[in-house]
A and B are shown apart, each in its own frame.
Chain A
Amino acid sequence: DAGVIQSPRHEVTEMGQEVTLRCKPISGHDYLFWYRQTMMRGLELLIYFNNNVPIDDSGMPEDRFSAKMPNASFSTLKIQPSEPRDSAVYFCASTQSGGGQPQHFGDGTRLSIL
């Protein structure tokens, strides 16, 4: 089975540019999560969706961040405009509801804002 697929794996861009991160969850999973990992703050949940609907976006740092899930097989996390402090590894994870299933993570997008 294909796991969670994220693209791009690495992104380097200049401050002020728009950045779009992409995620394809595991087929059949109805929950999708976006996390950010930094040395200073560890792993933080940004937002999660259930059946394509955003449930909790309280972790989104500010209005520059937005996330969408137009269908069950695709989600995007957008940063506009990007700032150097957004540099981090961004992970997408998915899981299947019912019975406490484990979350499965993608390999992440390493984002560097210059």
Chain B
Amino acid sequence: KQEVTQIPAALSVPEGENLVLNCSFTDSAIYNLQWFRQDPGKGLTSLLLIQSSQREQTSGRLNASLDKSSGRSTLYIAASQPGDSATYLCAVPETSGSRLTFGEGTQLTVNP
């Protein structure tokens, strides 16, 4: 059974810092990996999806990398802003379109 772990559980940084969130998974036979953001009282917003054949994806100040062989993904946030404060979750599906297994999330606080 796939297990997804995120470290750290919580992170507090001053505005402007670059930071890295970590995600690890036990079964490397993944189809893709997705990073989400969740604001309080809201649903999940998809940030980046990396296909299994890709090494990284970039969107603005966000960069996600994937190393299937080691079962790891990182989400890099450059020049963090208070508006980046949220919970970040990674998730992997077993096959395309099927159930996602989520990590517990990293709660990020960016202080002005």
Instruction: Count residues on chain A whose CB falls below 8 Å from chain B CBs.
Output: 28
Instruction: Count residues on chain B whose CB falls below 8 Å from chain A CBs.
Output: 23
- Please encode chain B, from 99 to 112, with 1 for each CB lying within 8 Å of some chain A CB and 0 for all others: 11010110000000
Q: How far is the CB of A25 from chain B (nearest CB, A)?
A: 13
Given contacts A95-B97, A100-B52, 20 further A-B contacts (CB under 8 A): A4-B43, A30-B97, A42-B104, A42-B105, A43-B89, A48-B98, A50-B97, A93-B44, A98-B97, A99-B51, A100-B32, A100-B51, A100-B97, A101-B49, A101-B97, A102-B34, A103-B46, A104-B46, A105-B36, A105-B46
Q: Which residues of B contact A102 (CB under 8 A)?
A: 34, 46, 49
| Interface residue B61 (Cβ < 8 Å from any Cβ of A) | no
Bound complex: CA A89 to CA B100 (Å) = 17
Chain A residues at the B interface, C-beta cutoff of 8 Å: 4, 30-31, 33, 42-43, 45, 48, 50, 55-56, 59, 91, 93, 95, 97-108, 110
A100 near B99: Cβ-Cβ < 8 Å: no
- Please encode chain B, from 76 to 102, with 1 for each CB lying within 8 Å of some chain A CB and 0 for all others: 000000000000010001001111101
Q: Which residues of A contact B89 (CB under 8 A)?
A: 43
Bound complex: CA A88 to CA B99 (Å) = 20
Known: A100-B32, A100-B49. A43 touches B102 (CB 8 A): yes
